[in-house]
């Protein structure tokens, strides 16, 4: 009976600490983020006294970030839902996708030759964000080994995935080319997506005729994989297109 009693006492002490120190609740949320996973409570408490975190509550329908904005801080979505919209270079089409908390917004844009956001972010519900400036990110990676390794692993994983892209098996059918076209342009390869593109432009992108593209899309709609309207292709669940 000793272990259950000790466990109960520990749970009450942790609950007491959270109630007495609201910042612990914030850092419990931070532990959902890849950058803070594996950090001890002691490290989080040390961060609490030395790190300038920002906290934002944003109403629905607000554009938080625009494509091309300078990326000067990290945004970590801890509550709510957002829409991410990425546009082609010539702005002839764009793709929107729905993401929900917890989500770290484009950490790779904070560094590099061109540190700018490559997509726009808009809130779909009331959202809460924790922000961290670039200077604070650099300081944390100097002070905390776990944070530095998490950041390196995150950026390295993205680079490794992109490095394998040219070596994947080529799509064998028009439908496979369409699925690959979408997957190569999304931020997260699952969930709700909307592709805004004219049929003529999509045919050019897929290197096929407009008629064949139309037949392929209608076949997918009949199977419940997409919903078509003029200039828009709604994809309720992208992962269902891989089945």
| Domain range list for the chain | 2-165, 168-242
Name which CATH class applies to 2-165. mainly beta
CATH tag, 168-242: 1.10.10.10
Q: Mean pLDDT across the stretch 33-39?
A: 85
- Reference 106, options 131, 135, 139; nearest CA is 131
- Contact (CB, 8 A) for 215 and 222: no
Residue with tokens 């540190």: 115
pLDDT digits (tens, 9 = 90+) for 65-108: 999 999 999 999 999 999 999 999 999 999 999 999 999 999 99
pLDDT digits (tens, 9 = 90+) for 130-165: 999 999 999 999 999 999 999 999 999 988 998 898
Give the per-residue pLDDT at 33. Answer: 83
Give 181's DSSP letter: H
pLDDT averaged over every residue in the chain = 87
Rounded-to-integer distance, Cα 177 and Cα 198, Å: 17
pTM for this predicted structure:
0.83
* Cβ within 8 Å of residue 36, ≥6 positions away: 27, 30, 44, 147, 150
Q: How confident is the model at residue 29 (pLDDT cuts 50, 70, 90)?
A: confident
Give the per-residue pLDDT at 1. Answer: 39
Rounded-to-integer distance, Cα 138 and Cα 25, Å: 24
- Reference 13, options 51, 41, 38, 44; nearest CA is 41
């Amino acid at each position: 009976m000793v272990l259950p009693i000790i466990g109960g006492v520990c749970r009450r002490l942790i609950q007491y600490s959270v109630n007495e120190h609201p910042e612990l609740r914030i850092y419990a949320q931070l532990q959902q983020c890849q950058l803070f996973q594996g950090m001890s409570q002691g490290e989080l408490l040390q961060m609490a006294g030395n790190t300038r975190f920002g906290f934002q509550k944003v109403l629905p329908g607000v554009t938080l970030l625009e494509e091309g904005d300078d990326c000067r801080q990290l945004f970590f979505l801890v509550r709510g839902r957002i829409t991410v919209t990425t546009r082609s270079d010539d702005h002839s089409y764009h793709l929107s996708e729905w993401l929900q908390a917890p989500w770290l917004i484009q950490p790779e844009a904070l560094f590099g030759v061109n540190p700018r956001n490559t997509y726009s972010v808009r809130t779909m519900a009331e959202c809460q964000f924790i922000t961290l400036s670039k200077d604070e990110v650099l300081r944390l990676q100097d002070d905390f080994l776990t944070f530095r390794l998490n950041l390196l692993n995150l950026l390295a994983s993205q680079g490794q995935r992109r490095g394998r892209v040219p070596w994947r098996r080529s799509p064998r059918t028009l439908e496979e080319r369409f699925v690959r076209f979408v997957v190569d342009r999304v931020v997260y390869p699952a969930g709700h997506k909307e592709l805004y593109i004219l049929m003529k432009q999509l045919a050019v992108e897929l290197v096929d005729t407009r008629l064949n593209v139309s037949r392929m899309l209608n076949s997918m709609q009949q199977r419940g994989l997409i919903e078509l309207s003029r200039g828009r292709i709604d994809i309720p669940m992208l992962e269902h297109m891989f089945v």
